[in-house]
Structure 1
Amino acid sequence: MREAIETAATRADCVADSAGGLTFHISDWVRPEPGSYDDWSGALVLVRRGAGPADDAEVRLPLGPTADGRLQAALPGTVALPEGRWDVFVAYGEQEPRRLVPGLHDLRSLVDRRPGPSTSPLSVRIPYATKHGNLSLRTWRRVPHAEAGEIRLEDGTMTVSGRLYRVEHPDGWLDGAVAEARCRRDRSLVCTAPVRGDGATFSFTLDYARLAERWGGGADLWDLWLRPADGAAAPVRLARILDDVADKKEIFTYPVRTVDAPHGTAAVRPYYTVDNDLSVRVADPD
């Protein structure tokens, strides 16, 4: 992975489209040398964090001038980017790439995004500012995808509604499907609930007391999946990625509910992981 270097105040504005693409506009770039753009060889460079030398660790997008004097690079939704976090640089010729900082982001097309029918992988890219103030992208690439929507908490249960994407026949996929809560501490512990399907939409209800039955203190984390009937397809992780929020863990928060368990009183709440996947935490009360 390329090490971060000291950043000049070069900003990139980002515009998202409903197909998962991004366009980058650089308005305060200083030309490396005087003259025209006839010999321009600039690039926007995306570098994936944590990628090994044999991985797809770098993507270069050509930069070109626009009529208003800015530089522009396009990242179409059809360009396959592995899931992860990508740091954004600008480069000219053989010069060392420099980190970009966020400018104005127009992400309106990502809010309540509803992808059209397709069986191709679903590409999601959300630009965001790192804790150091640099520009990065959070990317997902999933097929199929189970998008979590409303989460309703009542009477010691949680009811999750959502929608299935990127399957050829979603009606048949949901017939007989179940929701699975898988315990990270012990993968043999799985709690299931029937799924109610209506076209591509689904819902299910999990009983908190069932999740707490095998809890023995500390914190148990349960990851939520959809599993089709009869092993017709691979299970799908529930996540919420079809909006403009790159990191939901500290933003989408849900109240804690307490339930009686064999070990004692347990505090239970749903939450989104650092990857925006949906999970449930069973732990000691604060």
Structure 2
Amino acid sequence: MRKPKITKAMIDAYDEYTHLTLDRRRFMETLTRLTGSGAAAAAIAPLLAADPARAAIVAATDERIKGEDIAYPGADGEMKGYLVRPAGQDGKLPAVMVIHENRGLNEHIRDVARRLALEGFMVLAPDFLTPSGGTPADEEKARQMISALDPAKTTANSVATVTYLRGRPDGRGKVGAVGFCWGGGLTNRTAVNAPDLAAGVAYYGMQPDATDVAKIHAALLLHYAGLDERTNAGIPAFQEALEKNGKDFQIYIYEGANHAFNNDTSAARYDKKAAELAWGRTVAFLNKHLS
């Protein structure tokens, strides 16, 4: 059987399923209609999803980094996360929180944390499902657990993570945040609620309420995918509020790219050119604001 071409309609259906409905049966019915058969839909679905086998760009055993799972104080109880820093650097480092997608703290996000550590940062990737027992191996279950989280409590745990990193003796006292998708939205909410956050980088993240923008102190770098109509609908109001309140921000829209273009474990949505350009801008931005 010849594999059908992956279309924007198929990607949009997957985006609706993973971010709005969480209804896999309805998604597969839509995909079957779009591809023409159940067999074709079954072949396409894994290409739209993330493949954990593609996760490791920087291995956990890479001698250039040192990583460990840690526990630290959250807003109301213990939080857990993955802390990684460059090996052989005993001096104080700028700190960055990496906020996962709605799949939880999985191997891809751990890998992203290691990539950022190789750029010279101390990186903490929290597991925001800690209060619910931690990120499960089942991606479907993780999404359901993420959707059940209390946004205010989750934001409070993110702010507590900034406080923790800012107080670490091996840090320089400046903290940045980088978030993807669900984590991009949480990065924006953290910027609203954490006056000590120095820099925030949101990849295709939902925007905060425009009335809250005045509370932001962090410099912001906002990456959006050109084809991501759902997320991009909030750009104009956010940009207007940032400009009106004199905030330090940059917005980049990567034309032709889909939502989650940075996630290289998703064959259908990963855009190498956009991802590499956004990553270079991210590292330069963090170096500038956390030095």
- In the superposition, the TM-score normalised over structure 2's length comes to 0.24
User: Which has more strand, going by share of residues?
Assistant: 1
TM-score with structure 1 setting the length: 0.24
Query: Computing the radius of gyration over CA atoms, which structure comes out larger, 1 or 2?
Result: 1
Q: Which has the higher helix share?
A: 2
